[in-house]
Amino acid sequence: MSLAEIRSEIGQLVSGRVGIADGILPPIVFIAINAFWGLTPAAVLGLGSALLISGYRLARGRPTRFALAGLFGTAIAALLALRSGSSAEYFLPGIVSGALTTLAIVISAFIGKPFLAWTSWLTRGWPLGWYWHPQVRPAYSRAGWLWAGFFAMRTLIQWQLYSNDETVALGITRVLMGWPALLLLLILTYTLGRRWLVTLGGPSVEEFETESPPPWSVQPTGF
């Protein structure tokens, strides 16, 4: 597997589908403004940065689904912070979301419908039945535990900082363990996932759709 293949695949996964700025810019704005001018300007300008990102995507004709989701999350975070008067509350929705994501990944693994199989299906549009093939599904189950461990660790660290009202440390952790860490996790997932698919020796998507008998050639690209 070449570096160019990994770069191409990761680019396809994040380009146009996931707004990296949506997850990074509002928390940075909130932390910086809160440090100098206080909670209310920080909440307002943090929300304003999310609005600008959504407006930019809309004006450029780019997908706005994730930007709007980020805008909604930022609005909830800002309202919680303003209502409570605590800047740490701004990060509570993200902590809750991380805990729910961890739970969803673990439950999906135990019921035999891996979380990462669903996300790959939504992203790539491959037949859902292919993911449940006995020589394909284990690769997604194994990869799912990587994600469960990451989200559990991130949630626990952020909860500890939130409990201690360490807003600046919480914000920095939120940014660093956001997209920078997720991109590394995507690379690791793709690299190991491809290796596991090859080891399992299951059918490619095309072979699954045409019901080709074994031996199979394995899905040549993607995970």
Q: How many residues in the chain?
A: 223
157: three-class secondary structure by DSSP? helix
Gap between the Cα atoms of 190 and 221, Å rounded: 10
Whole-prediction pTM: 0.80
Q: How many domains does the chain have?
A: 1
Whether 75 is in a domain gets the answer: yes
Q: Cα separations (Å) of 88 from 1, 72, 91, 110? A: 43, 18, 6, 34
For residue 147, give the nearest of 85, 189, 92 by alpha carbon.
189
Instruction: Give the structural domain span for 63.
Output: 3-209
Per-residue pLDDT of the chain (223 residues; tens, 9 = 90+): 556 666 666 665 555 444 556 667 788 788 888 777 877 888 888 888 888 877 777 777 665 566 666 677 778 878 877 887 777 888 888 899 899 999 999 999 999 999 999 989 988 889 999 999 999 999 999 999 999 999 999 999 999 999 998 888 888 888 888 878 888 898 899 899 999 999 999 999 999 999 999 899 999 888 8
For residue 101, give the nearest of 28, 185, 26, 16 by alpha carbon.
185
